[in-house]
Structure 1
Amino acid sequence: MKRYIDNAAGWIGIVNITVLLIFLIAPIVVMIGMSFDGREYMGAFPPTQLSTRWYQSFFSDAYYLRGLSTSLLLAVIATVVSTTAGVSAALALDRYTGPGKQALESLFISPLVVPAVVIGFALLLFFAMIGISDGFTRLVGGHIIITFPYTVRTTLAGLVGIRKTLVEAAMSLGATERQAFWDVTFPLARTGIVAGAVFAFAFSMDDVAVSLFLTSPDSYTLPVAMVSMMRTNFDLTIAAAAVVLMIFTFALILILDWTIGLDRLIGKGVFRS
């Protein structure tokens, strides 16, 4: 009897996982398929005609292209700044043993739990109060704030288990604190640092809620451009834009794999005592 119950539980688990995978993948498959729809109207799926017309429309539309270039530049700047600041903050938190450590860590990762619309509106008021009206500057500030918690959290996870005696041993052998970091701490915490940078880039490329509050007519991201076009001129160019946005996110991982190798870059950067 117990064996039958275990088998039934196993099959239920398999069915649940299968349904979840279908639920996750099916919308992406539909989106990709509809982006190649050659019909003049938005019809049922699957498309009866295939065409690249919507991609041609996307790459010939200056509005979308400007949003894409802004998103890429913004994601690179936000990733570099938030990763640098996040690693520094995580190292400081890891070494700090005094009172208020948990409160400080909670403060650093608080943008993860505060609703994005609240952050966006608060930043809009703050930038208006200090006189910053340039849209791109506001976007940079907003994206650094929303990506910073990812770099802090993943770096802290990478630092867990790294014995302090390893750094002390390196310094006792003549290494400076900077050399001990690059030769001992950084290689062991590399997984968390790189993962945080990838999360920061992807989240910056994908953000809508915060960016909606901080854009200007001249500076807007691709997701904001897609939302704007959905309200004014809804067609399947938006599906093509969504696929392009997804491809740029995946391309980051592929570039890292081809140029450096994910196994080398991430797989060896974990240490547990």
Structure 2
Amino acid sequence: MLSKRNADAGLGVLLKAVIAVTAVFLLLPVMMTVIMSFDSRDYLGQFPPPSLSIKWYTKFVQNGYLWSGLHTSLLLATAATAVATTIGALAALAISRMSAQWRDPITTAFLSPLVLPGVIIGFALLVAFSAVNVLPTFLKMLAGHLIITIPFTIRMTLIGLTGISATLREAALSLGAHERQAFFTITLPLAKNSIAAGAIFAFAFSMDDLTISLFLSDFNTYPLPVALVGLMRSNFDLTLAAAAVFLMGLTVVILIVLDRLFGLERVIGHGIYRA
């Protein structure tokens, strides 16, 4: 009995050590980036920096190339999130009401872009749009971002719809409500957290996408990740670190706003409604 308790205690200590090492592994690069963004040196030197300064943030604010990319990224992510959430929610609703014979293959078809490398999607879209060059660059990138964001909105919405008992909708219909009323009064309120979670994933992946945008952008219309790569190739300095910290801060602000509006735990952690 004593040896079993010792073994359990040893496993507990090992688990805590693994968690601590994992946390350090994930957070250390972020902490180093934040500290190096305040480096006062004019070059990328050894860590830690000898003194601190905000000059790299000043250069980031004054860099029109990066701000133009940020503006495009925000517009692109907002548009992709709105369209992908609408399409994904409607597609998930239709899939959830299909028979099992059709539900699985159609769901697999919609989620298939998740297993394709972004390079393949980007190159395929580049070839397709080159053959029919009628769309502006922004709409080309929007089409590419929809391909990678719609699967997330469909998947998250399906999770929420799966947990909604069909008897609730049937009860509403039996009491005289038509399909539209049942959807807006029963289905949509119960699935809203899952839809919101899909929108969060869509926005995050659109803001972070590089591979598809790299194929579809041009010198006038480009998102921030493409701008950062271009700056890294032409003039590698710690303005990149300042831009990265700015993006991290923007992400934290968005999460705080979502937590105040929806409750982040309810949006991400409890997307399934259990009747």
Structure 1 length normalisation: TM-score?
0.94
- Residue equivalent to 1:206: 208
Alpha-carbon distance between aligned partners in 2 of 1:223 and 1:269, rounded to the nearest angstrom: 30
Could you tell me which residue of structure 2 aligns to residue 106 of structure 1?
108
Match of 1:143 in 2: 145
Equivalent residues in 2 for 1:128-139, closer than 5 Å: 128-132=130-134, 134-139=136-141
Q: Aligned match of 1:256 in 255, 258, 262?
A: 258
**Cα deviation code 1:61-88 (max 9, x no counterpart):** 1100000000000000000000000001
Partner residue in 2 for 1:9: 11
AA aligned to 1:89 is A
Hey, what does 1:37 align to over in structure 2? 39
Identity of aligned residues (%): 51
Coordinate RMSD, CA, aligned: 1.7
Gaps of 5+ in 1: none
SS of equivalent residue, structure 1 residue 239: helix
Do the aligned residues in 1 keep the contact of 2:159 with 2:272 (CA within 8 Å)? no
Decide whether the 8 Å contact of 2:81 with 2:203 is kept in 1: yes
Residues 234 and 253 (structure 1), Cα distance of their counterparts in 2 relative to 1, 3 Å cut = same
SS at match of 1:203: helix
Structure 1 contact 205–245 (Cα < 8 Å) conserved: no
Structure 1 residues 170-213: Cα deviation after superposition (integer angstroms, max 9, x where no partner): 12222221221121111211221111000100111111111111
Counterpart position of 1:246 = 248
Whichever residue aligns with residue 168 of structure 1, its letter is E
Gaps of 5+ in 2: none
- State the match for 1:236 in structure 2: 238
Partner of 1:6, secondary structure, is helix
Structure 1 residues 218, 169: CA separation in 2 closer, same or farther (over 3 Å shift)? Answer: same
1:10-54 residue CA offsets vs partner (Å, 9 max, x unmatched)? 111111111111000110111111111111221222222111111
Contact 1:127/1:138 (<8 A) preserved: yes
Retained in 2: the 8 A contact 1:38–1:47?
Answer: yes
Partner of 1:89: 91
TM superposition shift of 1:247? 2.1
Moved more, 67-76 or 202-211: 202-211
Residue 124 of structure 2 aligns to a residue whose secondary structure is helix
Mapping 1:54-73, distance limit 5 Å: 54-73=56-75
Counterpart CA distance in 2 for 1:136 and 1:247 is 26
Whole-Å separation in 1 of the counterparts to 2:119 and 2:39:
34
Q: Deviations along 1:102-127, whole A, 9 cap, x unmatched?
A: 11101111111111111111111111
TM-score (norm 2): 0.94
CA distance in 2, matches of 1:183, 1:253: 28
Q: Which residue of 2 aligns with 1:189?
A: 191
Q: Return the match for 1:153 from 152, 155, 159.
A: 155
CA contact (8 A) 1:190 1:270 kept: no
Give the equivalent residue in structure 2 for 1:127.
129
